[in-house]
Amino acid sequence: MNPLPRQYWNELAGWFRPETPGPLVGSHVIHTGIGELLTDRWPRPEVVLADCSGNYQLMGNPEAISPEELRALAPGFLQADGSFLPALRRAFTGLWTWPRIILELIVENPFASQSSFDLRRLTPENTPSLSVLSPEIQWISKTWGGPAGLAGSGCAWTAFMDGRAASIACTFFYGEKFEDIGIVTELAFRGRSLATGCAAAHLRDIFARGHIPSWGTSPDNEPSLRIACKLGFQHLREDVLYVIGRPVPKSAVRLLS
């Protein structure tokens, strides 16, 4: 697998259509320029891999990527359909999947226009506040290349408390039609509905852009599911991500050989 020069990325847009709610790694890479696209050959690739900070999307012919190439991936989470499962089993001893619940919001919920919090859309001036987030929630800016990228994206809202960014809702994957949301809250400020307020404000922006919001979480993440329910999200499907070379989440399931 070889990185494809950026000038050819738009020629691969069709590989990631039609978009569906959920992780939008390939579309995000193409639309934001963050990450990379790799192919087995160019032109007329048989398999395409999108990579954005350890979030992967694998498409195409499973026979066109070798076990060695799969094992060479940096630690992360891999989205691939079931046709890749035999190739993944050959590549990894002890394959883990992370169950996911995918939700979508077709029509803006009235809750999204009701917020008593003093919320702010992030701007480049907020980069220092994102740079000092607690380690456990720093992942929120990964798909934008880091704190400066997220702060300048125009796709994030935050609640500031005690002079710090207490909660953030943002577009984690930006697609052609959908935007997949990520939320985090600092431990000291949880239980105050800050994330709900941030997400509600962010949803208004998504609808204003003519996009559809989606929400992905794990079945055991009850706070995330409660927030999604408050905002009017509806269950769409169940999915999995493959866990590659990193500590497995608590709800991950090991596939038997």
> pLDDT tens digits, residue range 1-33?
999 999 999 999 999 999 999 999 999 999 999
**pLDDT the model gives residue 111:** 65
By the 8 A CB rule, do 121 and 201 touch? yes
Distance, in Å, from the CA atom of 245 to the CA atom of 75, rounded to the nearest integer, reads 5
Given this model, what pLDDT does residue 116 score?
A: 60
User: What's the whole-number average pLDDT of the chain?
Assistant: 95
- Give the position of tokens 């999108």: 50
The sign one gets for the Cα dihedral 162, 123, 175, 78 is negative
Give the per-residue pLDDT at 253.
95
> What is the distance between the alpha carbons of residues 212 and 253, in angstroms, rounded to a whole number?
30
Which residue stretches of the chain have pLDDT < 50?
A: 113
Q: Give all domains of the chain, ordered by start, each with its CATH number.
A: 2-100+244-254 (3.40.630), 104-238 (3.40.630.30)
Tens digits of per-residue pLDDT, 48-65? 999 999 999 999 999 999
Provide the β-strand partners of residue 52: 55
Rounded percentage of the chain residues whose pLDDT exceeds 70: 96
Q: Model's pTM, two decimal places?
A: 0.96
pLDDT of residue 109: 78
